Structure 1
Amino acid sequence: MRKRLLTWISIIAILSVLTSCSYGGKQISVGGKNFTEQYLLSEMTAFLLKEEGFKVKQMNNHGSTVVRKALENNQVDMMWEYTGTALITYMGGRTHF
């Protein structure tokens, strides 16, 4: 329950920051991985951004490393990532800070 609440608070905070930015009609690309939960996250994000007047380009159906590289190369403006995937795949599996 607490994790879901924190997830929704994070989603609202991210979208609030994005909608407060002045993009002037700039297109935002939302990346997504190739499984159901990611499709849903991408669709919900795109829907909310479109409601706020953004032009949204969705780039779904990619693997984790492909979407991450696209984000690093500025081909994707935003994506949803899981802390476990980020920890193991991109941060070398460190379990303590």
Structure 2
Amino acid sequence: MKADVWQKYEVLFWVLTGIFVYLLILTIIYLVLKIAFHKKLGGIGLYLSYFFMFPLLLLGEITAYPRKRKMWLIKSGLKEGHSYLEEGIGLGTSPILASRIVGAKGRI
């Protein structure tokens, strides 16, 4: 039997190839945006680092200790009946906890 291309190379090769293609696509998008916005973007290092840090930020949001976040909301002065404005960054764990604190009288 003839081995196909997936069996010919090891997993590490395909992982590194995927990362390379991902970086190549992001670099092309960066260059297109740089041309379209006439050099009003930050450096390419800053642009590429965001796409690698974003999954880690989500992982941190998921694994954050909920009691710590709830105590942070209580210490900030949030009470029943208050309004809470969420900035819209992350997965929405703060509004879920804030909705339990403000109750039916409050607004999220």
TM-score by length of 1: 0.31
Q: Which has the higher helix share?
A: 2
Q: Which has the higher strand share?
A: 1
Q: Which one has more relative contact order, counting CA pairs under 8 Å at least 6 apart?
A: 1
Larger radius of gyration: 2
